[in-house]
Amino acid sequence: MKDNNKIWTVIEIIRWGTGYFQEKGIDSPRLTIELLLCEILHCDRISLYRNFEKPITKNELVKLKDFIKRRINREPLQFILGKTKFYDVELYVNQSSIIPRPETELLVNNACKIIKDNSQIKKILDIGTGSGCISVSLAKKFPQIKIKAIDINPASLRLAEENAKYNSVKNIVFLEFDILKNSPDEKFDMILSNPPYISQKEYQMLEPEVLNYEPKEALTDDGDGLTFYRRFSEMFKEILNPEAFFLLEIAYNQSDEVLKIFEPKGYNIYFIKDWNNTNRIVVGQLDNK
């Protein structure tokens, strides 16, 4: 793209961008250039190919070059676009919160199944709401349920509130709250959380997109990755209603340790596997027998 006088068409940009991103080691190079083009041209991917001979204006090209530079600097594509799809909603994303991931969609999907099968679930707590991805997805699907979403980061809460408004959900209360220092003074029928579970050792090995752009405090506890599960095992006994459920996302290698944390404290738990056949979601209830 060094020739400033050249008139680029959509298909030429796609071909050039795919090769350039591939050369720079960027994941999904063709999809990346397509999504950047869609953002600039305000269209969907199908429209790109319906109008593949459309010329790109100079202003569009300037904006595209900026996007490409940001991606080459390993800024996540979602942050460049400012939005991402999650479960059945669209969400704003920024660097105040981690980018919602497929594992968390797995948590939401299983929470939905449990809610459908248990009509007594009327009140949910979302711990460490971040972008609000869990709360907003559930609030949209179950408008009759009251959800409290808490986070220690005010900027994350502002993002989550924006996502609630964007998706027209009104059954969420957002609250700044430090769960490691305080306990809620009410009980819930379901508790959900995707806590900071990456160990300090593994955090250092994450890819640049995560290390340089996503908030550290939402990813790691600066310890062994189990701090929040220990806290939850003590606290949940006080804030779960009888027959209530909790669903927690865990790291790919934590299920044995999580089992050791919860079972001796009087919880019945089981694990849900992800697409790699790895335990990634822990589901539990108090043993009321």
Nearest CA-CA partner of 25 in 209, 219, 205: 209
Q: Is the pLDDT of residue 12 over 80?
A: yes
Tens-place pLDDT, residues 90-120: 999 999 999 999 999 999 999 999 999 999 9
Give the model's pLDDT for residue 289: 58
- What pLDDT is stored for residue 1 in this prediction? 62
Mean pLDDT for the stretch of residues 26-47: 93
- Tens of pLDDT, residue by residue over 250-275, are 999 999 999 999 999 999 999 999 99
Q: What is the average per-residue pLDDT within 12-27?
A: 94
Q: Classify residue 184 as exposed, middle or buried by CB count within 10 Å of its CB (0-12, 13-18, 19+).
A: middle
Give CA–CA dist 33/1, Å, rounded.
14
pLDDT at res. 250: 96
Of 72, 123, 95, 41, give the one whose Cα is nearest residue 212: 95
* Cα separation values, 116 from 35, 56, 113, Å: 35, 49, 5
pLDDT score, position 4: 62
Percent of the chain surpassing pLDDT 90: 91
pLDDT tens figures, 40-71: 999 988 998 888 898 999 999 999 999 999 99
pLDDT value at position 171?
A: 96
pLDDT, tens digit (0-9, with 9 covering 90-100), for 234-250:
999 999 999 999 999 99
pLDDT tens column, 114-161: 999 999 999 999 999 999 999 999 999 999 999 999 999 999 999 999
Handedness of CA 278, 253, 250, 198 (dihedral sign): negative
Query: What DSSP character marks residue 52?
Result: T
**According to the model, what pLDDT value does residue 51 have?**
86
Q: Judge whether 26 and 49 are in contact, CB under 8 Å.
A: no
Average confidence (pLDDT) over 20-43: 94
Q: Are 70 and 212 in contact, with CB atoms under 8 Å apart?
A: no
Does an H or E element contain 49, and which?
helix 45-50
Q: What is the pLDDT of residue 288?
A: 67
3-state secondary structure of 103: helix
* Beta bridge pairs of residue 59: none
Element (DSSP H or E) covering residue 167: none
Instruction: Give the span between the Cα atoms of 217 and 156, in whole angstroms.
Output: 12
Contacts of 65 (CB under 8 A, 6+ apart): 1
Side by side, which strands form the sheet with 188-193?
A: 172-176, 146-151, 123-127, 188-193, 240-249, 279-286, 267-273
pLDDT in tens, 181-224: 999 999 999 999 999 999 999 999 999 999 999 999 999 999 99
